[in-house]
């Protein structure tokens, strides 16, 4: 099943990953971003097909395509075991980001982008009651989805149980209770779990967490956006591991 990816950075990363089937470029327009796409397409042996801006608008249903749209195959989800195998090959303690019912494409894209730059070995998302890797997610991630191993699982709770049996510590982010992140040992194999926007981690998933982490709040705002909270927790892991 084909899918659309649009935007300068996402399509450029898709071309780098050799995953573009068809490339549409806006006709009659120039710019540095479009020239970068043309160069990336040349290196990937992909011939761009010119289209009017109006036709690209219709193709993307109003999405901010920046004059660039690519047709590619179904997103290549991986198995959780593949993520752990990749971590083993890296020679570093596994670090996974597990997302329980995150439904906002912008949040998912931002979290995947942060996970990629923070050196996370893979992201785990649910198949139901959660957003998958859509065109909006790819754009929000600036194309990081094309370089980050992402597993889509049926049951988050059972996945956490399996990770624990393999020696991975499961740390859940909560708004109330739990310890401050810098007081926990996150240097060991770790899966950071984040819950849905506004609702947090579901109770059944929470019961499978070995420890709970709370980011202290000192301002007037009640809580952090899930993508901001994820960035803070992941970089605390980076700090502790010294990488």
pLDDT confidence band for 222 (50 / 70 / 90): low
Reported as a single tens digit per residue, the pLDDT across 191-213 is 999 998 788 999 999 999 999 99
Reported as a single tens digit per residue, the pLDDT across 102-114 is 999 999 999 999 9
For 55-82, what is the mean pLDDT?
Answer: 92
Return all residues near 2 (Cβ < 8 A) that are at least 6 apart: 21, 71, 72, 73, 74
Within the chain, where are the H helices?
A: 8-16, 32-43, 53-59, 80-90, 105-117, 135-140, 156-165, 203-206, 226-241
Look at strands 68-72 and 3-6 and give their pairing.
Answer: antiparallel
Work out the percent of the chain whose per-residue pLDDT is above 70. 98
- Which superfamily does CATH assign the domain made up of 3-72 to? Ribosomal protein L30/S12 (3.30.1330.30)
% helix, strand, coil for the chain, step of 5? 40, 20, 40
CATH class of the 80-241 domain in this structure? alpha beta
Q: Do residues 111 and 194 make contact, with C-beta atoms less than 8 angstroms apart?
A: yes
CA 24 vs CA 1, 47, 53, 67, 195: distances in Å: 18, 9, 10, 8, 37
Tell whether the model's pLDDT for residue 220 goes beyond 70. no
Tell me, what's the pLDDT at 175?
A: 87
Tell whether the model's pLDDT for residue 243 goes beyond 80. no
For 60-83, what is the mean pLDDT?
Answer: 93
Reported as a single tens digit per residue, the pLDDT across 37-50 is 999 999 999 999 99
Reported as a single tens digit per residue, the pLDDT across 122-180 is 999 999 989 999 989 999 999 899 999 999 999 999 999 999 999 999 999 998 888 99
Backbone angles phi, psi at 72, to 5 degrees: -140, 175
Query: In the chain, where are the structural domains located?
Result: 3-72, 80-241
Q: Do residues 80 and 124 make contact, with C-beta atoms less than 8 angstroms apart?
A: yes
């Amino acid at each position: 099943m084909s899918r659309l990816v649009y935007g300068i950075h996402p399509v450029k990363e898709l071309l780098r990953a050799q995953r573009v089937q068809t490339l549409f470029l806006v006709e009659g327009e120039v710019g540095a971003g479009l020239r970068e796409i043309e160069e990336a397409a040349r290196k990937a042996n992909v011939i761009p097909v010119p289209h009017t801006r109006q036709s690209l608008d219709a193709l993307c249903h109003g999405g901010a395509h920046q004059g660039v749209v690519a047709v590619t195959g179904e997103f290549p989800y991986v198995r959780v075991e593949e993520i752990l195998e990749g971590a083993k090959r890296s020679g570093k303690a596994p670090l996974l980001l597990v997302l329980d019912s995150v439904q906002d494409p912008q949040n998912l894209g931002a979290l995947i982008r942060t996970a990629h730059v923070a050196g996370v070995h893979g992201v785990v998302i649910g198949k139901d009651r959660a957003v998958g890797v859509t065109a909006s997610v790819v754009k929000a991630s600036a194309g990081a989805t094309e370089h980050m191993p992402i597993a889509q699982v049926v049951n988050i709770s059972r996945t956490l149980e399996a990770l624990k049996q393999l020696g991975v510590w499961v740390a859940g982010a909560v708004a109330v209770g739990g310890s401050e992140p810098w007081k926990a040992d996150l240097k060991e194999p770790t899966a950071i779990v984040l819950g849905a926007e506004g609702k947090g981690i579901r109770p059944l998933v929470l019961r499978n967490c070995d420890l709970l982490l709370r980011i202290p709040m000192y301002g007037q705002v009640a809580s952090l956006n899930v993508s901001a909270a994820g960035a803070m927790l992941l970089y605390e892991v980076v700090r502790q591991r010294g990488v």
